Amino acid sequence: MRIVAILAMVGCAAPGALGLYAGHIVFTSDRDGNPEIYLMKADGSNVIRLTNNKAYDDEPVLSPDGENVVFVSNRDGNHELYLIGAAGKGLRRLTHTPYSEIDPSFSPDGLWIIFTAMAEGDKDIWRLNVETGETEVLVAGDGDQFMARAGPDGALVYVEDGGDNEVFLLEGGAKENLSRAPGIDTMPSFSTDGKTVYFVSNRAGDYDLMAVNRDGSGLREIITLESSEGRASPSPDGNYLAAASDKDGDLEIYVFSPEGELLGQLTDNEYEDYEPFWGK
- Give dist(CA 112, CA 110) in Å, integer: 6
Low-confidence residues of the chain: pLDDT under 50? 1-18
* Confidence (pLDDT) at 1: 34
- Give dist(CA 200, CA 84) in Å, integer: 28
pLDDT tens-digit series, residues 79-123: 999 999 999 999 999 999 999 999 999 999 999 999 999 987 899
pLDDT tens-digit series, residues 214-251: 999 999 999 978 889 999 999 999 999 999 999 999 99
* Confidence (pLDDT) at 4: 35
* Confidence (pLDDT) at 96: 95
What residue ranges do the domains of the chain occupy?
Answer: 6-279
Contact 58, 251 (CB under 8 A): no
- Given CATH 2.120.10.30, say whether it is the number of domain 6-279: yes
At residue 162, the 3 state secondary structure works out as coil
Give per-residue burial for 48-74: e unless 16+ CB within 10 Å, then b: eebbeeeebbbbbbbbbebebbbbbbe
Q: DSSP states of 197-223 as a string?
A: EEEEE-TTSS-EEEEEETTS---EE--
* Confidence (pLDDT) at 19: 55
